[in-house]
């Protein structure tokens, strides 16, 4: 079976984790500080604040901006549900803008939703492809980047995570993992200071509380798992890019299949390699997924429905209007991710290409 995701830790990880265990300093300490430095360097920003997951990275970022009831946040409806849950937890009203055919939010659709209550835009660098950050930046709104899937991605010369508050996830399936973990990057000194307070009960000095905060801290054990991967990030993402290039070369022109866009000037980090299985294909998306599984090829549907398209969000007071987002609806029907992770070998790629081509040949 070629699985849709796989965790591969560099051999030096064990020694580093052991050293933390032996140090007796298991909670947030020097390894977390090292990981923060590595993220700040990667993003070319002065501040990185480690938190316990990607969802709390988003919540803390929205709270650091001072968001609250009555404020509006514009995002895409086509993402992992954490993007939506974080905005709801911050207490803001959510507006959904449609996407482009590269699966990222359409800045023109965002602009059409801006009102005098809009306080932030949350673009998602879905599958590892940065959204159109130049056009989004031109809107002049605070930006909270959901870069959970985009560690190492770039828009032009700038890193994903350097356009406002950059929110990363270190969950087990992400390009770099600590099991659970998150990071916020920013150039803004005041926001970084607020994030550090929010993560630690609002505490500046011992038992001196400046605001009602949380416990969003990462542990040194988690940081020790992620650090060796951070040191090899280029190698890890290059392997994904190489697999993606071979998949695209092999799958271009297959009837009914649309290979993922590579947008000039944007560096995709291929968290997922996602094709569209269109109405013209010989098999529908879900049937193709079943047939691939029977052939020993794992796939993923990210995501089968729009974030708000579940009964628990219907009539939610912070989602007064889901809007009409036909591009996003089509994406949820057509998207199918194929294995692209560094554990996928050249012969695996050949097998994926041959099997998909065979199943869809007319």
Ligand X SMILES: *Cc1c(COP(=O)(O)O)cnc(C)c1O
Size of interface with ligand X, in residues (CB under 6 A): 14
Q: Is 274 in the site for ligand X (CB under 6 A)?
A: no
Which of 98/146 has CB closer to ligand X? 146
Instruction: Check residue 82 for interaction with ligand X (CB under 6 A).
Output: yes
Window contacting ligand X (CB under 6 A); options: 79-87, 204-212, 313-321, 324-332: 79-87
Count of residues in the chain: 362
332 forms part of the interface with ligand X (CB under 6 A): no
54 binds ligand X (CB under 6 A): yes
Task: Please report whether residue 169 would count as binding ligand X according to CB under 6 A.
Answer: yes
Query: In the complex with ligand X, which residue's Cβ is closer, 83 or 222?
Result: 83
Q: How far apart are CA 239 and CA 299, in angstroms?
A: 19
CB of 264 to ligand X, least distance (A): 23
* In contact, 208 and 15? CB cutoff 8 Å: no
53 binds ligand X (CB under 6 A): yes
* 149 vs 229, beta carbon nearer ligand X: 149
Residue 166 CB, nearest approach to ligand X (Å): 12
- The reply on whether position 80 binds ligand X by CB under 6 A is yes
Positive or negative, the CA dihedral 229, 232, 235, 237 is positive
Cα–Cα dist 143/12, whole Å: 36
Contact 38, 229 (CB under 8 A): no
Instruction: Please list the alpha-helical segments (H only) found in 253-325.
Output: 285-294
**Listed ranges 34-42, 47-55, 202-210, 274-282: which one lies at the site for ligand X (CB under 6 A):** 47-55
Q: Is 223 in the site for ligand X (CB under 6 A)?
A: no
Residue, CB closest to ligand X: 54
Q: Which pair of structure tokens corresponds to residue 325?
A: 């987002």
> 127: left (phi > 0), else alpha (psi -120 to 50), else beta?
left
| Joined tokens for residue 107 | 């800045």
Residue of 26, 46, 25, 22 whose CA lies nearest to 36? 46
Q: Report the residue number, 106 or 348, with the smaller CB distance to ligand X.
A: 106
SS3 content of the chain, % helix, strand, coil (to 5): 40, 20, 45
Residues forming the site for ligand X (CB under 6 A): 53-55, 79-80, 82-83, 124, 146, 148-149, 169, 171, 182
């Amino acid at each position: 079976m070629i699985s849709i995701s796989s965790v591969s830790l560099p051999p030096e990880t064990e020694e580093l984790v052991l050293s933390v265990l032996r140090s007796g300093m298991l909670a947030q300490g020097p390894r977390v500080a090292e990981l923060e430095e590595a993220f700040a360097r990667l993003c070319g920003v002065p501040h990185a604040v480690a938190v316990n997951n990607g969802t709390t990275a988003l919540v803390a970022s929205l709270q650091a901006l001072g968001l609250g009831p009555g404020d509006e946040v514009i995002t895409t409806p086509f993402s992992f549900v954490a993007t939506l849950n974080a905005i709801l937890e911050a207490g803001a009203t959510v507006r959904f803008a449609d996407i482009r055919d590269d699966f990222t939010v359409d800045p023109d659709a965002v602009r059409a939703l801006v009102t005098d209550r809009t306080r932030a835009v949350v673009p998602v660098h879905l599958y590892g492809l940065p959204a159109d950050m130049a056009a989004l930046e031109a809107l002049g709104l605070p930006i909270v980047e959901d870069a959970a899937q985009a560690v190492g991605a770039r828009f032009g010369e700038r890193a994903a995570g350097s356009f406002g508050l950059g929110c990363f996830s270190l969950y087990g399936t992400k390009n770099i993992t600590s099991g659970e973990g998150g990071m916020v990057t920013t150039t803004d000194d005041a926001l970084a200071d607020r994030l550090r307070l929010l993560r630690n009960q609002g505490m500046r000095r011992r038992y001196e509380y400046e605001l009602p905060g949380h416990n969003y801290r990462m542990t040194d054990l988690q940081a020790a798992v992620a650090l060796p991967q951070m040191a090899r990030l280029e190698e890890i993402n290059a392997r994904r890019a190489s697999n993606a290039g071979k998949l695209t070369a092999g799958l271009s022109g297959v009837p009914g299949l649309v290979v993922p866009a590579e947008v000039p000037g944007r560096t995709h980090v291929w968290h997922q390699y996602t094709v569209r299985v269109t109405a013209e294909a010989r098999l529908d998306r879900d049937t193709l997924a079943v047939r691939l599984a029977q052939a020993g090829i794992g796939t993923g549907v990210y995501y089968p429905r729009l974030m708000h398209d579940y009964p628990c969000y219907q009539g939610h007071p912070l989602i007064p209007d889901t809007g009409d987002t036909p591009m996003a609806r089509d994406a949820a029907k057509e998207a199918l991710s194929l294995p692209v992770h560094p554990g996928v070998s050249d012969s695996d790629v050949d097998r994926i290409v041959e099997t998909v081509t065979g199943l869809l040949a007319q």
